[in-house]
């Protein structure tokens, strides 16, 4: 165990560490994260947040086949919301085509928020998290373009932080290229969850469950089949639950194991 503020001061090589999970939220720029490699002696770094200049952003089950050990040293695993959104968006796009989409994540409050009202520049972010619904920005929808290039510039969205400690839900509304019914859409999600690269990552439920039922769920995204809506044949709304802590933590480990398997 080390206690260091500077990544360059951590002796990863002598500790036998090959893959570092950079989860402080402070070193999300490639140049800063690279210190784990250039000075610490690690071989790869996974950033547990969106990064602007990473070598690649990977969402397991969606684009993990693109990992190249020769070219990719600093890899972003996106965010918990990116991992909650991307599997659902991929199924919709591959099956029906997405023209444009709007996303809202109703998100559990986080430790970046205030527990009591405080005097800060961010007037909304300064409000008491445990008793308020707080609108926040979210880069998850825009980050989809790094994971599914065909959707680059086609999606945007925001977040509503709510007074629950864990489990969040993506509310995704899209215009499809081809007409579909709610039954068609749910069938596509069931099939993707049952087999293929999204098995164990994407889930599907037609049970009347609520957020607390998904605490500790290791999957990235669980479609709430009871909430799928279609109007006009092409406008679709779906809901996808995710444990924003445990599900995402599982994907970080999955990505580290993938990198080890394919070569460091």
Q: How confident is the model at residue 142 (pLDDT cuts 50, 70, 90)?
A: confident
Cα dihedral 185→188→190→194 (10° resolution):
-170
Q: Strand runs (DSSP E) across 163-242, as ranges?
A: 168-176, 202-205, 221-224, 229-231, 235-242
Per-residue pLDDT of 65-124, as tens digits, reads 999 999 999 999 999 999 999 999 999 999 999 999 999 999 999 999 999 999 989 999
CA atoms of 151 and 224, how far apart (whole Å): 23
| pTM assigned to the model | 0.95
Question: Cα–Cα distances in Å, from 158 out to 83, 155, 171, 226, 238?
Answer: 15, 11, 10, 23, 16
Catalytic residue of the set 21, 47, 80, 134: 80
If pLDDT is split at 50, 70 and 90, which confidence band does 32 have? very high
Q: How does 229-253 read in b/e, with b if 16+ C-beta sit within 10 Å?
A: ebeeebebbbbbbbbbbbbbbbbbe
Nearest CA to 21 among 86, 77, 84?
77
The chain-wide mean pLDDT, for the chain, equals 97
DSSP string, 42-95: -SEEEESS--SS-SEE--TTTTGGG--TTT-SEEE---HHHHHHHHHHHHHHHH
Catalytic (active site) residue 80? yes
pLDDT digits (tens, 9 = 90+) for 157-182: 999 999 999 999 999 999 999 999 99
**Lowest-pLDDT range of 46-55, 190-199, 237-246:** 46-55
The pLDDT of 201-210, averaged and rounded, is 99
Domains of the chain are: 7-78+249-262 (3.40.50.720), 80-244 (3.30.360.10)
pLDDT at 50 over 90: yes
Q: Quickly state the pLDDT bin for 264 (edges 50, 70, 90).
A: confident
Those residues whose C-beta lies under 8 Å from the C-beta of residue 250, and which sit 6 or more positions away, are 218, 219, 220
Structure confidence at residue 141 (pLDDT): 85
The residue-averaged pLDDT of 38-52 equals 95
Q: To the nearest whole percent, how much of the chain has pLDDT over 70?
A: 100
Q: Which residue has the tokens 């098995």?
A: 199
pLDDT of residue 116: 94
| pLDDT in the model for residue 52 | 83
What's the pLDDT at 257? 98
The pLDDT value given to residue 1: 83
Q: What was the pLDDT predicted at 139?
A: 84
């Amino acid at each position: 165990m080390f206690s260091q503020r500077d990544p360059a001061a951590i002796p990863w090589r002598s500790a036998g560490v090959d893959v570092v999970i950079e989860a402080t939220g402070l070193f999300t720029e490639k140049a800063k994260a690279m210190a784990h490699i250039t000075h610490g002696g690690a071989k790869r770094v996974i950033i547990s947040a969106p990064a602007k200049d990473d070598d690649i952003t990977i969402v397991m089950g969606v684009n993990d086949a693109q990992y190249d050990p020769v070219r990719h040293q600093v890899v972003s695993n996106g965010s918990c919301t990116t991992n909650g959104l991307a599997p659902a968006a991929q199924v919709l796009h591959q099956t029906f085509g997405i023209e444009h989409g709007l996303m809202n994540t109703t998100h559990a409050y986080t430790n970046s928020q205030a527990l009591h009202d405080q005097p800060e520049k961010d007037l909304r972010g300064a409000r008491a998290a445990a008793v308020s619904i707080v609108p926040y920005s979210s880069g998850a929808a825009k980050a989809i373009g790094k994971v599914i290039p065909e959707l680059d510039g086609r999606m945007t969205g925001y977040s509503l932080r709510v007074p629950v400690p864990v489990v969040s839900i993506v509310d995704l509304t899209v215009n499809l290229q081809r007409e579909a019914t709610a039954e068609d859409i749910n069938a596509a999600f069931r099939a993707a969850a049952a087999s293929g690269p999204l098995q164990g990552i994407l889930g599907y439920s037609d049970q009347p469950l609520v957020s607390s039922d998904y605490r500790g769920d290791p999957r990235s995204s669980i479609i709430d089949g009871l909430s799928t809506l279609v109007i006009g044949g092409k406008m679709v709304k779906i809901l996808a639950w995710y444990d924003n802590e445990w599900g995402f933590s599982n994907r970080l480990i999955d990505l580290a194991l993938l990198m080890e398997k394919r070569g460091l």
